Amino acid sequence: MSTPIQRLRPSALRSQVSEAEWQARVDLAAAYRLCDLYGMSDMIYTHISVRVPGEPAHFLLNPHGLLFEEVTASSLLKVDLDGKLIHRPDGPYGLHQAGYVIHSALYRARPDLGAAMHTHTVAGMAVSALKCGLLPLTQTATRFCSRLAYHDFNGPERDPGERDALARDLGAMNAMILRNHGLLTVGATVAEAFAAMYGLERSCQAQVAAMACNTPLNEMPEAVVAKATGMYDPAVIRRYGLLEWPGLLRQLDRRDPSFRD
């Protein structure tokens, strides 16, 4: 007999999870609010997840039906790698199949990952539809251009059989363009995954704006691109997100601290 799903009220939830899980929930809820604040949400679609600290087979994901601006620490689903809901809050919203497929694929294949973020922004979708992909047109883009994976579109990612291909195409990279679909970033923490997505999104926005001007692009020499790319080597530069995250949380607290509930 299967174990019934636990449905917990917010007050009960905080008392029944570890401090580490509660902090992960707060940070993930913050990432949803920030995604919306920075114009990267898509109503109730797309998703951000965090692996539960100390529970490598479990991750947290948004319930399919909440707007990103509505997500709170206690509203998140807890899911295992087989798609089973461990517990969920009271309410009508359940697991989004595409969210489960994409995020379980990443956590199954990459034990180093603690968080993942997927978006459908206009700029991200536009670059995903270009044969050239992301070009090294800006300083920000050189952070990604040689560390960016690509995954061909095979229909909406609702088929669990797609998980192996997603994991294979991402490989050891921390950013991927899902062709004809959108963007994906991962990291050891949600702060790192969010910071990577912010940079990748800005790179796509700049490329789309530049290409729309219908004038020759000022392409950088290969040697300059290589130099810039090397200066963004994770081995020699700070991990993006860790320094920015406290300030981003302060920004949310000033606007609406209910993400912590």
Q: Are strands 58-61 and 47-51 parallel, antiparallel or unpaired?
A: antiparallel
| Residue 125 forms part of a structural domain | yes
Say yes or no to pLDDT of 67 above 90: yes
Say yes or no to pLDDT of 236 above 50: yes
| Residue 44 forms part of a structural domain | yes
| Residue 170 forms part of a structural domain | yes
| Residue 152 forms part of a structural domain | yes
| Residue 10 forms part of a structural domain | no
Q: What confidence tens digit (pLDDT) does each residue in 129-186 have?
A: 999 999 999 999 999 988 999 999 987 777 778 899 999 999 999 999 999 999 999 9
Report the chain's mean pLDDT, rounded to a whole number. 92
| Residue 85 forms part of a structural domain | yes
| Residue 9 forms part of a structural domain | no
Q: What confidence tens digit (pLDDT) does each residue in 127-137 have?
A: 999 999 999 99
**Spatial contact of 176 and 150, defined as CB atoms under 8 Å apart:** yes
Q: What confidence tens digit (pLDDT) does each residue in 13-54 have?
A: 888 899 999 999 999 999 999 999 999 999 999 999 999 999
Q: Which range of residues forms the domain containing residue 75? A: 19-260
- Residue 136 makes CB contacts below 8 A (sequence gap 6+) with 142, 145, 219, 220, 225, 228, 229
Say yes or no to pLDDT of 247 above 70: yes
Give the pLDDT of residue 248.
97
Q: Give the C-alpha distances (Å, rounded to integers) separating 35 from 39, 73, 134, 186.
A: 6, 15, 21, 15
Please provide residue 2's backbone torsions phi and psi, each rounded to the nearest 5 degrees: -75, 155
Domain holding 72: CATH number? 3.40.225.10
pTM: 0.91
Token pair listed for 215: 């004038």
pLDDT tier for residue 233 given thresholds of 50, 70 and 90: confident
| Residue 92 forms part of a structural domain | yes
**DSSP of 140-170, one letter per residue?**
HHHTTTTS-EEE---SSS--GGGHHHHHHHH
Token pair listed for 16: 């029944």
Could you give the number of structural domains in the chain? 1
Q: Are strands 85-89 and 175-178 parallel, antiparallel or unpaired?
A: unpaired
